[in-house]
Amino acid sequence: MPPRAHNFSAADPVEELRAAACAEDDNGQPLYEPTDPARPIGHANPPRRPRGKAAQPSQRPSRLEVERRVAEAQLWIAQRIPLVLTVEKARESWGVTNTQTVNRYLNLARERMVEELINDRRRHQAEQIFAINECARRAMDAEQFSAAVGAFRVIAEIGGLLRAPIKPPEPRA
């Protein structure tokens, strides 16, 4: 399989974008090998581009640039910017005119946001449970057992062990 072939079953899609440049210099800028027009067209020798504006080959982003684009896409998603404006911002900021590429960055940003939310949520839950457990211990030391029971109830709610309220809601008259 050629090194630049798209393999969508990669473990991390960002790694796929990072691996797009076949080589990088010390500053993380992609290096390109010139193609030989005498050789047949293939993955290592793409067809010639038309002369004029499109004569320059498009630069593949470096690893640092991919990370910056994903972070910027996360910001746009968090700001709830409409897709049309997001594509326009990507054209201005990244120089990317292909909407599929923009959608790919947006999908990667969404995946990364979900992973960060899940990881941060677990850490936050652990911090809250630890703090409330300390409160429950102090309540038991002060013989305030109803406060300790309430603290343990909150710990169970945070941990997902208790979903419904203990007391039924009072009927509204």
pTM above 0.85, yes or no: no
Where do the structural domains in the chain lie, given as residue ranges?
Answer: 13-25+60-159
Which pLDDT score is estimated for 126?
87
Question: 31 pairs with which residues across the strands?
Answer: 23
Per-residue pLDDT tens over the stretch 35-71: 555 666 667 666 666 565 544 556 778 888 899 999 9
Return the pLDDT at 2.
Answer: 47
Please state, in angstroms and rounded to a whole number, the distance separating the CA atoms of residues 157 and 159.
5
pLDDT one-digit tens code per residue, 103-141: 999 999 999 988 888 888 888 788 889 999 999 999 999
Alpha carbons 29 and 50: distance in angstroms, whole number: 25
For position 15, what pLDDT does the model report? 64
pLDDT (0 to 100) of residue 119:
81
What is the reported pLDDT for 61?
83
Give per-residue pLDDT as tens, 77-91: 999 999 999 999 999
* Cα gap 89→97, rounded to integer Å: 10
